[in-house]
């Protein structure tokens, strides 16, 4: 929904896209209504985009490129930066690193890593979070989160490891149907050649050791082959790049991996849970 609050929250890319789209529209002699008809939007939607009351969605940018781009690819190039601006501030730095990462190793202990979330699961998580966000912001956050899955199709594909606490597989958001759909999607992802998925059993603590008790983390090898670790604590994003600290966290992650089920056993568990009716 368009609102004056969006104008304040809109980032630099959104304002640049708005100004460029308006300038090109006027140069080509289109009214807002005429441009809207050409790209499948109302005149009010075009007006909202040009004032940043409702910044251009990814789908709108694709259409703007077709009609106003003139072969320059400016709106196509803007898609990447617009999506980055839609992430929460605490995650924007990590989102940029993730896009070009060579290796991603993630340990999730409460909610499924956003990289693997289906649209329905992501919406249920975001909708239920506190403090609540506007419907427009919810749409933007869902769009940005689901767009991260494009990383799976990147060439060359990154190597991705995901270790999940078993409780994540059993914790519903939105509905049991949403969880089952998410588990089926996760099972499909686990069978990709560049993905290794493991589950840390809920009863791990009965063995006397549980290396993951300090919470989730994400280890990344960047396209420049730097090693960094990202952690989220409440609404704070922490990016660790100091080599000794990264090494210590990497050792902890390796211990978590060693305590998890094998990839085959993990997949069997996910498939079993996906088939259970609640």
Question: Which uninterrupted H or E stretch holds 198?
Answer: strand 195-200
Q: Tens digit of pLDDT for each residue in 171-211? A: 999 999 999 999 999 999 999 999 999 999 999 999 999 99
* pTM recorded for the entire structure: 0.74
Q: What is the mean pLDDT of residues 162-168?
A: 97
Count of CB atoms situated within 10 Å of the CB of 120? 19
Angle CA 78–115–276, to nearest 5: 140
Query: What count of residues does the chain have?
Result: 278
β partners of residue 229 = 219, 240
- Among 45, 39, 38, 37, which residue's Cα sits nearest to residue 6? 45
Q: Tens digit of pLDDT for each residue in 65-83? A: 999 998 889 999 888 778 7
Cα–Cα distance measured from residue 79 to residue 60, given in angstroms and rounded to the nearest whole number: 10
Cα–Cα distance measured from residue 59 to residue 235, given in angstroms and rounded to the nearest whole number: 29
Cα–Cα distance measured from residue 55 to residue 45, given in angstroms and rounded to the nearest whole number: 9
Helix axes 74-86, 12-27, angle to 10 degrees: 150
């Amino acid at each position: 929904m368009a609102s004056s609050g969006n104008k304040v929250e809109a980032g630099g890319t959104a304002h640049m896209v708005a100004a460029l789209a308006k300038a090109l529209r006027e140069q080509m002699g289109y009214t807002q209504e005429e441009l809207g008809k050409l790209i499948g939007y109302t005149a009010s939607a075009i007006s909202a985009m040009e004032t940043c009351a409702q910044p251009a969605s990814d789908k709108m940018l694709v259409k703007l490129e077709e009609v106003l781009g003139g072969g320059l690819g400016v709106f196509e190039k803007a898609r990447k930066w617009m999506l980055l601006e839609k992430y929460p501030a605490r995650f924007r730095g990590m989102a940029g690193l993730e896009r070009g990462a060579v290796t991603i190793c993630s340990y999730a202990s409460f909610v499924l890593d956003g990289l693997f979330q289906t649209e329905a699961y992501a919406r249920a998580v975001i909708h239920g979070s506190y403090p609540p966000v506007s419907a427009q912001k919810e749409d933007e956050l869902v769009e940005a989160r689901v767009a991260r899955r494009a990383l799976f199709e990147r060439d060359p594909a990154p190597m991705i490891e995901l270790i999940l606490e078993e409780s994540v597989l059993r914790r519903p958001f939105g509905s049991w149907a949403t969880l089952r759909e998410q588990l089926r999607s996760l099972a499909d992802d686990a069978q990709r050649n560049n993905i290794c998925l493991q589950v840390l059993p809920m009863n791990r603590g009965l063995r006397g050791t549980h290396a993951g008790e300090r919470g989730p983390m994400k280890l990344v090898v960047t396209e420049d082959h730097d090693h960094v670790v990202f952690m989220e604590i409440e609404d704070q994003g922490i990016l660790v790049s100091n080599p000794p600290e990264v090494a210590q966290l990497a050792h902890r992650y390796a211990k978590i991996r060693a305590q998890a089920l094998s990839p085959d056993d993990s997949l069997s568990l996910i498939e079993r849970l996906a088939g259970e009716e609640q």
